[in-house]
Chains A and B, each alone.
Chain A
Amino acid sequence: SQKIEQNSEALNIQEGKTATLTCNYTNYSPAYLQWYRQDPGRGPVFLLLIRENEKEKRKERLKVTFDTTLKQSLFHITASQPADSATYLCALDTSGGYNKLIFGAGTRLAVHP
């Protein structure tokens, strides 16, 4: 079955530094991959989508890479701020375009002033 792995331990970084989160997957070849942010007690909020033929995607301070050979995506937040503290979820479409997403467990990011 498909498996998605994200850093299980919380990531603690200093304000202003770059946070890098990892998403690894097995037993699947997704056409695209998505990243979501989730705050405690709230629903996930979409951040970025990257397709298999895109190596990198940027949005403001966010950057996502997608390596289909390594079966890995990296999510970067540059110039991090305490407001970036949240859980970040990686998700793959396993339905060939019906947006049926399978999520990783998420990585909790804490940015300290």
Chain B
Amino acid sequence: DTGVSQDPRHKITKRGQNVTFRCDPISEHNRLYWYRQTLGQGPEFLTYFQNEAQLEKSRLLSDRFSAERPKGSFSTLEIQRTEQGDSAMYLCASSPSSGVGELFFGEGSRLTVL
């Protein structure tokens, strides 16, 4: 069990550029979640997948944000035309599909938009 891994850990970009984050969940976990966290706040839910199906998207996920999990394994979160307000920590988590339980978080990808 290598845990949830995220890449890159840090990304600095200029406003208007596109960025993509990758998340590799724990291999036997069918559910995958994306959260965003800003300083002094708890993680805010963005979206989640059951296998390759995206089951829900938060209203926080504007049209500039898109998430995919094409084969039900790794996932990508893309932000197009970044804005300074997108600066945050983007956290990925996974969990088994059987009922109630904990989320296993990665270490996050910190985005800074200049």
Most chain-A Cβ atoms within 10 A of its Cβ — which of B40, B93, B102, B107?
A: B102
Please judge, given known A-B contacts A89-B42, A93-B100, A105-B40, whether A100 and B48 are in contact too, CB under 8 Å: yes
Residues of A within 8 A of B105 (CB): 43-45
Least CB distance from A4 to B in Å reads: 8
Q: Please report the C-alpha to C-alpha distance between residue A32 and residue B99 in the assembled complex, in whole angstroms.
A: 12
The one of A4, A31, A103, A106 that contacts B100, using a Cβ cutoff of 8 Å: A31
Within 8 A of B (CB), among A26-70: 31-32, 34, 41-46, 49, 51
A99 touches B103 (CB 8 A): yes
Are B107 and A43 touching (Cβ within 8 A)? yes
A46 to B4, CA, bound (A): 13
Let me know if B43 is at the binding interface, CB within 8 A: yes
Bound Cα distance A13, B42 (Å): 22
B50 touches A98 (CB 8 A): yes
Known contacts: A98-B50, A100-B48. The answer to whether A105 contacts B100 by CB under 8 A is no
CB of B2 to closest CB in A, whole Å: 14
Q: How far is the CB of A81 from chain B (nearest CB, A)?
A: 23
* Bitwise interface map of A from 69 to 99 toward B, beta carbon under 8 Å scored 1, else 0: 0000000000000000000010101010111
Interface contact tally, CB-CB below 8 A:
65
**Distance in Å: Cβ of A40 to nearest Cβ of chain B:** 10
Query: Is the pair B45, A98 in contact by a Cβ cutoff of 8 Å?
Result: no
Any chain A CB within 8 A of the CB of B101?
yes
Question: With an 8 A cutoff between CB atoms, is B75 at the interface?
Answer: no
Residues of chain B contacted by A89 (CB below 8 angstroms): 42-43
Chain A neighbourhood of B48, CB < 8 A: 98, 100
Assembled-state Cα–Cα distance A103/B40 (Å): 12
Given A51-B100, A103-B44, 7 more contacts at CB 8 Å? A41-B107, A43-B105, A45-B105, A46-B104, A93-B100, A99-B101, A100-B45
Chain A contacts to B: CB under 8 angstroms = 4, 31-32, 34, 41-46, 49, 51, 89, 91, 93, 95, 97-106
